[in-house]
Amino acid sequence: MGKITFVEHSGTAHIVEIAEGQSLMQTAIDNGVPGIDADCGGACACGTCHVILHSDWVQAAGSINADEQGMLGLTPEKTDASRLACQITVSEALDGLIVHLPEFQM
């Protein structure tokens, strides 16, 4: 079973198992990873599951649609590797993915 590593802003790492087909946001929530609010429950409508992917994984995570781009624009801490975790579907192809959590969700 593949693994994903979430790294909190403080540096604390959480290694969790991949649940095929689940969103990256749900994966974090189900495993009690702190730092993701997901207020809207995965509707790409609040921007509070903002994560920053390790640069090696930006391509593999897939493309960003206009809605996600719009919501990411509301986050002052946005970087080139920023994504909304609710818009990434995890699969074995993401085995080894490293995800950094921002200091705050907005």
Partner 1 sequence: MNPLKPLLEPVIQPVLNKATAIIPIHWQIKGAHAFQHAKNRVGRGRPVPTFKEVPLPEVSTLALQDIDLSNPFLYRQGLWHSYFKRLRDECPVHYQKHSPFGPFWSITRYEDILFVDTHHDLFSAEPIISIGPQPEGLEIETFIAMDPPKHDVQRQAVQGVVAPKNLAQMEALIRSRTADVLDQLPIDEPFDWVQKVSIELTSRMLATLFDFPFDQRHKLAYWSDVAAGAPESTGGNANTDEFFRAAADMAKQMSLLWREKEARKAAGEEPGFDLISLLLANDDTRDMINRPMEFMGNMVLLIIGGNDTTRNSMTGGVFALNQFPDEFTKLRKNPGLIPNMVSEIIRWQTPLAYMRRVAKQDVALNGQTIKKGDKVVMWYASGNRDERAFEQDPDQFIIDRKNVRKHLSFGFGVHRCMGNRLAEMQLRILWEEILKRFDHIEVLDEPGYVQSNFVRGYSTMNVKLSARH
Q: Which residues bind partner 1 (CB under 8 A)?
A: 37, 39-41, 43-47, 67, 70-71, 73-74, 76-77, 103-106
Which residues make Cβ contacts (< 8 Å) with residue 94, sequence separation at least 6?
Answer: 2, 4, 18, 57, 60, 61, 88
Nearer to partner 1, 41 or 62 (CB): 41
Nearer to partner 1, 15 or 34 (CB): 34
H or E stretch covering 24 = helix 24-30
**Residue type at 48?**
T
Minimum CB distance to partner 1, residue 93 (Å): 28
**Residue type at 106?**
M
Nearer to partner 1, 20 or 39 (CB): 39
